[in-house]
């Protein structure tokens, strides 16, 4: 097939000098045709998995770490092992490979659901995550379906068909896994959004003491970071203003009794120590010590 000039990576668009797979992912992130189906799917997932206990469990709130990346190790590991046994394990390995495929299929259910749950939160605010996440899901859905076919073929003693289906399946899962890594490491999906923030370690002026009224929350720019300041019950508390979940502005959220709720996905954090009271956030908010000094509220990172 002849490639048109418009499809050729050039130095001008920055793709010619990138690794081919990275350039391909960048191009996929620009395909606007993916927006409509991805948007509908994201809305359906948010309706099916609203905030609450199930959502928190899928997000990893209880774990203090995103749940989906941890779960992916199980199906990928068992399926990869099954394919290795298929081609290197000899005839005696057939039953073992079949069982590994079955374990992977069972583990794929919570893995898929948790992945959709995380993606549905993130796709609203990012074109790249919306589009690439849909392609990531499509590769994984194809791979899982092929492994289901492989498992059924093995149960019917059609091992050659099972092996070939497994080989096709792991190829699709590998492509989906690569895109999943791109979403995490390039697009920061599922990553603590405050991880790279470096707040002041010495007392630094943030806001005039008189500018923070009782029962109010405000965002102060302190160097390169944004700090949430709240005066409640005569005490002033300070957290990172950027929500660890997806970066929502906490100063625009709802104040509770000793808590702040993110306006984007309703994660609730304790003002005293930044701990997660309710998900879907999995990571606590960074906390700042606060003092009033010469009419100014000063903050520093709590260690």
HEC profile for the chain? CCCCHHHCCCCCCCCCCCCHHHHHHHHHCCCHHHHHHHHHHHHHHHHHCCCCHHHHHHHCCCCCCCHHHHHHHHHHHHHHHHHHHHHHCCHHHHHHHHHHHHHHHHHHHHHHHHHHHHHHHHHHHCHHHHHHHHHHHHHHHHHHHHHHHHHHHHHCCCHHHHHHHHHHHHHHHHHHHHHHHHHHHCCCCCCCCCCCCCCCCCCEEEEEHHHCCCCEEEEEEECCEEEEEEEECCEEEEEECECCCCCCEHHHCEECCCEEECCCCCCEEECCCCCEEECCCCCCCCEEEEEEECCEEEEEECC
Number of domains in the chain: 2
- Identify the pLDDT of residue 5: 46
| Residues contacting residue 27 through CB under 8 Å, at least 6 positions apart | 15
pLDDT in tens, 280-301: 999 999 999 999 999 999 999 9
Domain CATH code at residue 221: 2.102.10.10
Give the structural domain span for 79: 31-185
Residues β-bridged to residue 98: none
Percent of the chain with pLDDT over 90: 85
Same domain for 212 and 275, yes or no, is yes
Looking at per-residue pLDDT, the higher value among 7 and 148 belongs to 148
Which of 117, 150, 185 terminates a domain? The answer is: 185
- Per-residue confidence at 149, pLDDT binned at 50, 70, 90? very high
- Rounded to two decimals, the pTM is 0.83
- Please state, in angstroms and rounded to a whole number, the distance separating the CA atoms of residues 105 and 272: 43
Same domain for 153 and 220, yes or no, is no
- Please state, in angstroms and rounded to a whole number, the distance separating the CA atoms of residues 42 and 94: 39
Q: What is the average per-residue pLDDT within 151-170?
A: 97
* Residue whose entry in the numeric block shows the structure tokens 């990553």: 191
Pairing mode, strands 254-255 and 259-261 = antiparallel
Contact 244, 285 (CB under 8 A): yes
Phi-psi region of 247 (alpha: psi -120 to 50; beta: other; left: phi over 0): left
Same domain for 209 and 240, yes or no, is yes
Query: Is residue 21, in this structure, part of any structural domain at all?
Result: no
Same domain for 119 and 54, yes or no, is yes
Looking at per-residue pLDDT, the higher value among 169 and 126 belongs to 169
Question: Has residue 48 got a pLDDT over 90?
Answer: yes
Same domain for 118 and 262, yes or no, is no
Query: Is residue 2, in this structure, part of any structural domain at all?
Result: no
- Identify the pLDDT of residue 8: 53
pLDDT in tens, 198-223: 999 999 999 999 999 999 999 999 99
Averaged pLDDT score across all residues of the chain: 93
Same domain for 208 and 180, yes or no, is no
Which of 134, 158, 185 terminates a domain? The answer is: 185
Residues β-bridged to residue 268: 261, 278
pLDDT in tens, 252-276: 999 999 999 999 999 999 999 999 9
Same domain for 37 and 171, yes or no, is yes
Same domain for 226 and 163, yes or no, is no
- Per-residue confidence at 7, pLDDT binned at 50, 70, 90? low
Which of 129, 158, 185 terminates a domain? The answer is: 185
């Amino acid at each position: 097939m002849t490639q048109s000039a418009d499809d050729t990576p050039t130095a001008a668009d920055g793709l010619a000098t990138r690794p081919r797979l990275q350039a391909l992912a960048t191009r996929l992130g620009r395909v606007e045709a993916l927006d409509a189906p991805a948007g509908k799917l994201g809305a359906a997932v948010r309706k099916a998995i609203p905030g609450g206990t199930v959502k928190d469990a899928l997000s990893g709130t209880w774990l203090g770490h995103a749940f989906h990346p941890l779960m992916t190790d199980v199906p990928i590991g068992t399926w990869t092992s099954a394919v290795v046994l298929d081609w290197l394990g000899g005839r005696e390995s057939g039953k073992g490979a079949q069982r590994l495929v079955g374990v992977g299929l069972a583990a794929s259910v919570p893995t898929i659901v948790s992945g959709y749950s995380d993606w549905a939160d993130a796709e609203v605010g990012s074109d790249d995550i919306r589009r690439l996440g849909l392609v990531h899901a499509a590769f994984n859905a194809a791979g899982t379906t092929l492994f289901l076919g492989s498992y059924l073929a093995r149960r019917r003693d059609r091992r050659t068909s099972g092996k070939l289906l497994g080989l096709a399946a792991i190829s699709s899962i590998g492509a989906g896994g690569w895109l999943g890594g791109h979403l995490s490491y390039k697009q920061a999906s599922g990553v603590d959004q405050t991880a790279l923030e470096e707040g002041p370690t010495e007392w630094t002026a943030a806001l005039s003491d008189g500018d923070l009224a009782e029962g109010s929350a405000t965002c102060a720019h302190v160097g390169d970071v944004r700090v949430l300041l709240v005066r409640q019950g005569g005490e002033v508390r300070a957290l990172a203003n950027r929500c660890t979940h997806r970066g929502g502005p906490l100063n625009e959220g709802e104040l509770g009794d000793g808590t702040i709720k993110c306006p984007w996905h309703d994660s609730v954090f304790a003002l005293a120590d930044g701990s997660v009271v309710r998900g879907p956030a999995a990571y606590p908010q960074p906390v700042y010590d606060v003092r009033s000094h010469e009419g100014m509220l000063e903050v520093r990172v709590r260690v």
